[in-house]
Amino acid sequence: MSITFHPANNYAFCAANNLNTIREEECLCVYDGHANSNCPYCKGTGVDRMEETPFEMNVANGNGWALLEILGITPDYSGCEDAQKFLDGVAFVRALNNVGHEPLVTEASEETGTGGCRIIHCGRTPEQVQRYLDTIEVIATEAKRRGVKITWG
Ligand SMILES: [Zn+2]
């Protein structure tokens, strides 16, 4: 499960302003240089085309939750908040030079769960946290410029 942050109505705005792009990559069905002619994604061409919308950030639920928490925004799996609140949160975290602090940066770890299952926590590196802050700042700046809130879900 994941959370995507973006300015409200981002897709429609980007479509109306020709900001969406098409990314092409080799389809997963391609094996040994040959595409599956029955593939529902590439229709046998071997090229998977995906539309990409700028000003979006998709993160794992736990990462999105922690990001909201450190920015001073009540965490939830979906929501809507003023862009300025995100910008204030980023400025606050940077002012404290808080990037190395919990709950955002965590060590990778491993534990054994009930029944012997292996649970791996991937952790969050300082570089990853910096990327989240930089990206959410760009998204919030754009949302503010458009006069809309940031939504996530
Ligand atoms: Zn395919």
**34 Cα: distance to centroid of ligand 1 (angstroms):** 9
Distance (Å, rounded) from C-alpha 7 to C-alpha 12? 11
With a pLDDT cut of 70, the percent of the chain lying above it is 93
Partnered with residue 74 across adjacent β-strands are: none
Q: Per-residue pLDDT averaged across 117-129, rounded?
A: 79
**32 Cα: distance to centroid of ligand 1 (angstroms):** 13
- pLDDT value for 89: 94
Which H, E and C letters describe the chain, residue by residue?
A: CEEEEEECCHHHHHHHCCCCEEEEEECCCCECCECCCCCCCCCCCCEEEEEECCCCEEEEHHHHHHHHHHCCCCCCCCEEECHHHHHHHHHHHHHCCHHHCCCCCECCEEEECHHHCEEEECCECHHHHHHHHHHHHHHHHHHHHHCCCEEEC
Ion ligand 1 nearby residues (CB, 5 A): 27, 29, 39, 41-42
Q: Per-residue pLDDT averaged across 52-70, rounded?
A: 93
- pTM for the model stands at 0.79
**25 Cα: distance to centroid of ligand 1 (angstroms):** 10
Q: Per-residue pLDDT averaged across 129-145, rounded?
A: 95
- Residue 99 predicted with pLDDT over 60: no
Mean predicted lDDT score pLDDT of the chain? 90
Classify residue 10 as exposed, middle or buried by CB count within 10 Å of its CB (0-12, 13-18, 19+).
buried
Question: Under a CB-based contact definition with an 8 Å cutoff, are residues 12 and 27 in contact?
Answer: no
The tens digit of pLDDT for each residue in 17-34 reads 999 999 999 999 999 999
- pLDDT value for 120: 73
